């Protein structure tokens, strides 16, 4: 009886902690200030999810006769299970590292009357909402739609419903076990910034592996049936999927018990690892920031140089003093192409519409210009340094402003450093990509002038973005922050706008490659050339106009600060 009451009390604590975390995480979404109450918002959201699931199930039901030649429930079900399992595992690693080791509430929660296991269970319950919801909707809707139309039996329905929950739980449990053990064994990744860098490398590996596997199994004329057969065969490696499918199609009750025992065993192993390792490891997590203050010696570096150059050098040294700035300001210049460009460039279908190679001026010019605009948008969008140019000074800002230096030079140093930094992640890529395409025969020698044109477009756009970010950064700098590392990770609204613009230009770039043959025809050739010239002139005019007043306006903004 005592054990039962203890378990009930433990579960009650976890439930209360889950409720608290969900309210804290969602307070900015719905509440008393919203158009509808929080309860009504939940009901509306759940109703919309049910409608979406029903619609997806209906679509699968009506499409089943047309897809029967390439897709059957025997290969669809294990394929979806495998995809959702891997997706839950990969997303789980990122979310688990964030909520278990990098959250700011760890010190508070560990000091409360909660055990490490209860804290982890509550955090993982919140993290599991999205993958479980996605799995339940996708797996149940598609499999039940196909299965009911094919006349599948009761075991298939039961197995599908159970798998919708157990598949993401298995992936998250495996990710929890892996993360907790790795953080315990390898001490060097306990630094928050090292964890972020390791996560970037892991993401890079996943993207490259996905790209080449897709090209290997899908690219060489393989039909849909071959893809599903390949995924279904690969799913046999995972016992929870292989035994569950055996129950679904053969009705084996013993196979059902084994498939359910696998996730429960992983859950027990993960909880054991959490109880043994989590508390000590979480408390040892460090935020690495040197917190060096600005001095005259740091500013001039002991060498005679112009004030503008000295201030620009100081910007580089100041940004390099914190690993978070190195990651979100420098390393990101090498990561964003991996996240957005490689999956498209390495795909087999990008040039499938048939651009005649080598490309002539049309479509080479719009393709290079759209790539240049996209590169500049992504380079500035993912970089935190231009947006917090003044904020990262913190309490040292007023001391710097009191130095005998021209405020205009101080603002220009911020602008020049941002432009130089982001040009390494945009203009340099445009030049290198253009040279590679020219050497590989994608661009004709007579059209090679489009490469320096694209470089100029990127440089001018970088100047525009640098001036705009300077104006934004000088308007209301955040000089009072508790954690410099946490502050260095935050992207602002202008970053989000530039990322969205970059995604749009990526679509435009791919559309130009797909429609290149049409654009080069006489009726559209002049229109395309006119649009390119007009876009280039607009960027040039914007750069010249902003150059005349951006620095002056930024100085005025800074002088108003008290």
Q: pLDDT grade, residue 465 (50/70/90)?
A: very high
DSSP string, 367-403: HHHHHHHHHHHHHHHS-STTTTTTGGGGGGHHHHHTS
Q: pLDDT grade, residue 291 (50/70/90)?
A: very low
What local confidence, expressed as pLDDT, does residue 296 receive? 47
Phi/psi of residue 315, each to 5°?
A: -60, -45
Q: Is the pLDDT of residue 47 over 70?
A: yes
What local confidence, expressed as pLDDT, does residue 455 receive? 93
Pairwise pLDDT comparison (507 vs 230), residue with the higher score: 507
Give the separation between CA 413 and CA 329, rounded to whole angstroms: 16
What local confidence, expressed as pLDDT, does residue 183 receive? 77
pTM > 0.85: yes or no: no
Q: What is the pLDDT of residues 129-180, one digit of tens each?
A: 888 888 888 888 888 888 888 888 888 889 889 988 899 899 888 888 888 8
What local confidence, expressed as pLDDT, does residue 5 receive? 47
What local confidence, expressed as pLDDT, does residue 350 receive? 45
What local confidence, expressed as pLDDT, does residue 491 receive? 75
Q: What is the pLDDT of residues 183-224, one digit of tens each?
A: 777 655 555 555 555 555 555 555 555 555 555 554 444 444
CA distances (Å), origin 497, targets 377, 378, 416, 421, 501: 9, 10, 22, 19, 6
Measured CA angle at 35 (ends 32, 38), to 5 deg: 50
Closest Cα partner for 22 from 131, 123, 108, 102?
Answer: 123
Tokens linked to 397: 């800002």
Maximum mean pLDDT: which of 161-170, 267-276, 383-392: 161-170
Closest Cα partner for 400 from 483, 321, 314?
Answer: 314
Maximum mean pLDDT: which of 270-274, 504-508, 543-547: 543-547
Are 463 and 543 a contacting pair, CB within 8 Å?
Answer: yes
For tokens 């199609």, the residue is 249
> DSSP letter at 264?
H
What local confidence, expressed as pLDDT, does residue 299 receive? 46
What local confidence, expressed as pLDDT, does residue 34 receive? 45
Q: Is the pLDDT of residue 383 over 50?
A: yes
Closest Cα partner for 168 from 227, 125, 122, 120?
Answer: 125
Q: pLDDT grade, residue 116 (50/70/90)?
A: low
What local confidence, expressed as pLDDT, does residue 460 receive? 93
What local confidence, expressed as pLDDT, does residue 19 receive? 65
Measured N-to-C along each axis, helices 522-559 and 407-423 cross at an angle, to the nearest 10 degrees, of: 140
Give the separation between CA 326 and CA 385, rounded to whole angstroms: 10
Q: Is the pLDDT of residue 420 over 80?
A: yes
User: What percent helix, strand, coil does the chain show, rounded to 5?
Assistant: 80, 0, 20
What local confidence, expressed as pLDDT, does residue 538 receive? 94
Q: Is the pLDDT of residue 27 over 50?
A: no
Measured N-to-C along each axis, helices 427-440 and 361-381 cross at an angle, to the nearest 10 degrees, of: 150
Are 377 and 279 a contacting pair, CB within 8 Å?
Answer: no
Pairwise pLDDT comparison (93 vs 516), residue with the higher score: 93
Looking at the DSSP assignment, which residues form a beta bridge with residue 359? Answer: 443
Pairwise pLDDT comparison (468 vs 1), residue with the higher score: 468
Mean predicted confidence (pLDDT) in 502-515: 82
Q: pLDDT grade, residue 562 (50/70/90)?
A: low
Q: Is the pLDDT of residue 504 over 90?
A: no
The mean of the pLDDT values for the chain is 75
Give the separation between CA 137 and CA 148, rounded to whole angstroms: 16
Q: Is the pLDDT of residue 537 over 90?
A: yes
Phi/psi of residue 156, each to 5°?
A: -65, -45
Spatial neighbors of 373 by CB under 8 A, at least 6 apart, are 457, 458, 461, 501, 505
What local confidence, expressed as pLDDT, does residue 305 receive? 53
Looking at the DSSP assignment, which residues form a beta bridge with residue 551? Answer: none
Q: Is the pLDDT of residue 483 over 50?
A: yes
Q: pLDDT grade, residue 488 (50/70/90)?
A: low
What local confidence, expressed as pLDDT, does residue 223 receive? 47
What local confidence, expressed as pLDDT, does residue 187 receive? 57
Residue % of the chain over a pLDDT of 90: 8
Reported in sequence order, the residue ranges of 292-355 that DSSP labels E, i.e. its strands, are none
Are 205 and 339 a contacting pair, CB within 8 Å?
Answer: no
Tokens linked to 295: 């001095």
Pairwise pLDDT comparison (29 vs 196), residue with the higher score: 196
Give the separation between CA 238 and CA 77, rounded to whole angstroms: 14
SS3 221: coil
Q: What is the pLDDT of residues 215-269, one digit of tens each?
A: 555 444 444 455 566 667 777 778 888 889 888 888 888 888 988 998 899 888 8
Pairwise pLDDT comparison (495 vs 294), residue with the higher score: 495
Closest Cα partner for 301 from 289, 325, 317, 319?
Answer: 317
Rg of the chain over Cα atoms, rounded to whole angstroms, equals: 28
**Sign of torsion, CA 34 38 43 48?**
positive
Give the separation between CA 176 and CA 160, rounded to whole angstroms: 24
Measured CA angle at 270 (ends 264, 276), to 5 deg: 140
Residue % of the chain over a pLDDT of 70: 67
DSSP string, 44-79: HHHHHHHHHHHHHHHHHHHHHHHHTTT--HHHHHHH
């Amino acid at each position: 009886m005592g054990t039962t009451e203890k378990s009930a009390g433990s579960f009650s604590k976890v439930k209360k902690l889950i409720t608290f975390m969900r309210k804290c995480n969602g307070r900015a979404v719905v509440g008393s200030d919203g158009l509808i109450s929080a309860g009504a918002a939940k009901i509306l959201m759940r109703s919309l999810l049910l409608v979406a699931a029903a619609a997806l199930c209906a679509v699968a039901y009506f499409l089943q006769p047309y897809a029967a030649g390439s897709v059957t429930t025997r290969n669809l079900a294990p394929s979806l299970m495998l995809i959702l399992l891997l997706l839950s595992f990969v997303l789980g690693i990122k979310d688990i590292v964030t909520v278990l080791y990098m959250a700011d509430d760890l010190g508070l929660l560990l000091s409360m009357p909660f055990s490490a296991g209860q804290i982890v269970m509550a955090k993982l319950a919140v993290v599991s909402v999205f993958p479980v919801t996605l799995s339940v909707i996708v797996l149940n809707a598609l499999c039940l739609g196909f299965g009911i139309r094919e006349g599948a039996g009761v075991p298939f329905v039961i197995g599908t419903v159970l798998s919708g929950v157990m598949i993401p739980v298995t992936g998250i449990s495996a990710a929890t076990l892996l993360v907790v053990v790795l953080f315990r064994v390898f001490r060097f990744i306990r630094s928050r910034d090292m964890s972020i860098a390791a996560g970037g490398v892991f993401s890079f590996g996943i993207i490259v592996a996905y790209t080449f596997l897709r090209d290997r199994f899908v690219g060489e004329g393989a039909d849909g049936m071959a893809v599903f057969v390949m995924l279904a065969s690969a799913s046999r490696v995972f016992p929870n999927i292989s035994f569950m499918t055996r129950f679904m199609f053969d009705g084996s009750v013993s196979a059902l018990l084994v498939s359910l025992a696998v996730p429960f065993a992983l859950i027990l192993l993960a909880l054991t690892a959490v109880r043994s390792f989590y508390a000590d490891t979480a408390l040892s997590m460090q935020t690495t920031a040197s917190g060096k203050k600005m001095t005259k010696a740091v500013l001039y570096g002991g060498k005679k140089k112009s004030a503008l150059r000295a201030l620009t050098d100081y910007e580089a040294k100041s940004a390099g003093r914190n690993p978070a700035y190195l990651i979100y300001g420098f390393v990101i210049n090498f990561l964003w192409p991996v996240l957005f460009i490689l999956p498209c460039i390495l795909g087999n279908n990008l040039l499938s519409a048939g651009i005649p190679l080598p490309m002539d001026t049309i479509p080479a010019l719009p393709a290079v210009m759209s790539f240049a605009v996209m590169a500049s948008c992504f380079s500035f969008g993912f970089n935190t340094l231009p947006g917090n140019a003044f904020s990262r000074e913190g309490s040292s800002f007023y001391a710097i402003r009191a130095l005998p230096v021209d405020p205009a030079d101080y603002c220009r140093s911020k602008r020049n450093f941002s432009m130089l930094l982001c040009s390494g992640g945009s203009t340099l890529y445009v030049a290198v990509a253009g040279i590679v395409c020219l050497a590989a025969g994608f661009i004709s020698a007579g059209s090679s002038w489009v490469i320096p044109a694209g470089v100029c477009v990127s440089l001018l756009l970088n100047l525009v973005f640098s001036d705009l970010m300077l104006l934004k950064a000088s308007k209301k700098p955040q000089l009072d922050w508790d954690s410099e590392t946490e502050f260095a990770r935050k992207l602002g609204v202008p970053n989000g706008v530039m990322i969205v613009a970059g995604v749009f230009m990526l679509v435009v770039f791919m559309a130009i490659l797909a429609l290149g043959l049409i654009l080069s025809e006489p009726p559209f050739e002049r229109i395309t050339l006119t649009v390119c010239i007009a876009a280039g002139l607009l960027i040039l005019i914007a750069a010249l106009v902003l150059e005349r007043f951006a620095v002056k306006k930024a100085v005025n903004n800074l002088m108003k600060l008290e």
